[in-house]
């Protein structure tokens, strides 16, 4: 008998419903092709249910949305913000910036069809890769091979370095500490 508080669309409910109908008191599951031991039957059911769940799962693509913007839109925004910023830095000689279709080792970016943009900030290096079709958006100094080796920065490093430049008198660590303190203070709002 169904418990009034149990959702009927859960895996647990579905398995219990099937097992109640097909299992006998001896722990044997009867199918149209004969009987199967209870343990094997349970594994078969779990595999079938998981397979159905995976097939129903939404695939994440560039068109996946957070309800406001798709990944494609957000990546385009990021690229355009990056182009505007690097173009301004190059125009006003704020920081050294460059673009290249090669990495510092002389190899084409990702084998071909991509380029890298880099900036050397007082807080450290930042960079992004883009497809060659966006080359002309970046009106910055071009090098056949970048002047700087990749320093191993991560996405988190880039965020810290950019925040540090917003607070030029502070180091990336001081900005991180201030950001974490501010965010912790807003948890209850």
Q: Which residues contact 184 (CB under 8 A, 6 or more apart)?
A: none
pLDDT of residue 1: 47
**How many Å apart are CA 182 and CA 170, to the nearest integer?**
16
- Strand order of the sheet with strand 124-131? 97-100, 114-121, 124-131
What integer is the mean pLDDT of 40-54? Answer: 75
- Going by pLDDT thresholds of 50, 70 and 90, the confidence category of residue 126 is very high
CA 34 to chain centre: 47
- Going by pLDDT thresholds of 50, 70 and 90, the confidence category of residue 43 is confident
What integer is the mean pLDDT of 9-35? Answer: 63
The residue with greater pLDDT, 42 or 103, is 103
| Best-predicted range by mean pLDDT (32-36, 155-159, 183-187) | 155-159
pLDDT of residue 54: 72
Instruction: Check pLDDT > 50 for residue 189.
Output: no
Instruction: Check pLDDT > 80 for residue 108.
Output: yes
| Weakest-pLDDT range from 13-22, 134-143, 158-167 | 13-22
Specify whether the CB–CB gap between 146 and 99 falls below 8 A.
no
């Amino acid at each position: 008998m169904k418990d009034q508080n149990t959702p009927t669309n859960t895996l647990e409910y579905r398995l219990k419903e099937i097992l109640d109908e097909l299992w006998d008191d001896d722990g044997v599951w009867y199918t149209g092709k004969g009987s199967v031991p209870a343990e094997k039957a349970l594994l078969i059911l779990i595999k079938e249910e998981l397979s159905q769940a995976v097939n129903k799962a939404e695939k994440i693509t560039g068109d996946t949305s957070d309800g406001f913007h798709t990944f494609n839109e957000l990546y385009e925004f990021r690229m355009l913000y990056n182009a505007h910023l690097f173009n301004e830095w190059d125009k006003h000689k704020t920081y050294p910036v460059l673009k290249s279709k090669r990495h510092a080792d002389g190899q084409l970016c990702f084998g071909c069809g991509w380029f890298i943009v880099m900036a050397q900030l007082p807080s450290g290096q930042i960079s992004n890769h883009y497809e060659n079709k966006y080359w002309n958006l970046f009106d910055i100094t071009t090098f056949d091979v970048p002047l700087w080796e990749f320093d191993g920065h991560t996405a988190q490093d880039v965020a810290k370095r950019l925040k540090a430049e917003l607070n030029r008198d502070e180091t990336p660590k001081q900005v991180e500490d201030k950001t974490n303190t501010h965010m912790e203070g807003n948890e209850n709002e």
